[in-house]
Structure formats: C-alpha cells, structure tokens
Amino acid sequence: MRRLPVYLLLDTSGSMSGEPIEAVKNGVQMMIHSLRQNPQAIETAFVSIITFDSAATQVIPLTDLASFRMLDLKASGVTAMGAALELLADKLQNEVARTTPEQKGDWKPLVFIMTDGVPTDDWQRGYNKLKAANKGLIVGCAAGLDADDTVLKQIATSVVRLDNADSESISKFFQWVTASVSTTSTKVEESGKEVTGLAQLPPPPSELVIIS
C-alpha cells in the first residue's frame, strides 16, 4: 500500500501559550476525527507531528489514522524552526518509502508548517538539509500579525496568512488542512496523480490569505 505522509510542523514557543496552543490541539483532534470518516484518507493518510520551541521534537511519528492518539502540547521557549526543518529532513529520509525498480514507494508528502513568530536559530541550515530530501508539497502558515512570512516564502511551496492566532482562525486553518488531505488522498487513490501546488487543493476560507 502506498501511503500519503502528512507532516505537521507546529510552533509551540512561548508566544503560542493560552488560546493559540489550545486551538492547535483542538484543530489536530478535529482533523483526525474528520479524516477517519473519509474512506480514502483512512486507507492512505499517515500523520506525524513535529513541534518546535527551544528545540524540535517529533512528538508523534508517522502513524495511521486509526492508531493516532493526540498528545498534550505545552507552549514555552523560543522558535527553533531550523531544527524542525532538519528533523523533518531526517524523518522524510527514514520514514517515507522511496520508489525503487521493484516497488512503488509512498506518495510525496504533504507538509504544513504553522508559526506565529520568527525563527530564532539557523533556519537556512535546516532548509538546506530539507532541500536534499524528497520534500513534496510544503505549505507555510503565518499565524497572527507577529509571524514573519519572509522566511516561510523561502521554505514553502506556498504560504498563507492568518491575521489572528485566535481559536476561530486556527480552527479554520485546520479545517482547510483536513480538506486538503482528504482531496489529496482521494486524488492519489483514484487517479494515481500527486498534488504539486496550492491550485490543486481546496480553496482556503476567507480567514486564510494566500500570499505566495
């Protein structure tokens, strides 16, 4: 079976404490619940969560939807996005099956990066490592007015912005991620064609502004 790997890179720095981090946890749980209702997604989508604050951690390895169990997330520290990109590159190399002459590998991954701030470490080093991996489609989300989208524009295939990092806006972002995963899993299952850009995903809600 060819899997559709989905990686969520979530900012858990101190500025996300309170309403934003609670909204992120609720958003992930809603996403998993909704995807479990989709017959293509339940067969194909595997989800991993990498958090980044003062360090980067893969809190949930690439897991099928039926087995997925959300963990509690705490917000503290700074924004080590570079470390998260390095960790993502490692996981793409080690967790995603490559196509060989003998067998088809996994589908190209979907990666969603959500941050409300500015990287506090060497993000370019992490990005250079990521470029060498088979990275698939990367979507960046700048959440709130303090989020710097200039770095995300260099890392991601496409970037969207939320003007507010409140529970309603973050919930809308995760609803769109859910729809994007559903659409992609249906597309690869039915047509065998991979999603290569934002134009092939569902249109984002009005709270999400496409900036690149």
Name the residue among 117, 123, 155 with its Cα closest to residue 136.
Answer: 155
Q: What is the pLDDT of residues 26-71, one digit of tens each?
A: 999 999 999 999 999 999 999 999 999 999 999 999 999 999 999 9
What is the residue-averaged pLDDT of the chain?
94
Look at residue 3 and tell me whether its pLDDT is greater than 90: yes
Residue-level pLDDT at 86? 97
Residue-level pLDDT at 146? 87
Q: What is the pLDDT of residues 89-101, one digit of tens each?
A: 999 999 999 888 9
Q: What percent of the chain has pLDDT over 90?
A: 86
Binning pLDDT at 50, 70 and 90, where does residue 1 land? confident
Mean pLDDT, residues 102-107 taken together: 92
Q: Fill in the DSSP letter of residue 30.
A: H
> CA-CA distances (angstroms) from residue 79 to 30, 119, 124, 170, 172?
25, 5, 14, 18, 23
Q: What is the pLDDT of residues 23-38, one digit of tens each?
A: 999 999 999 999 999 9
Name the residue among 5, 4, 6, 65 with its Cα closest to residue 37.
Answer: 65
* Cβ neighbours, 10 Å, residue 23: 21
> CA-CA distances (angstroms) from residue 55 to 30, 104, 146?
26, 34, 20
Q: Fill in the DSSP letter of residue 65.
A: T
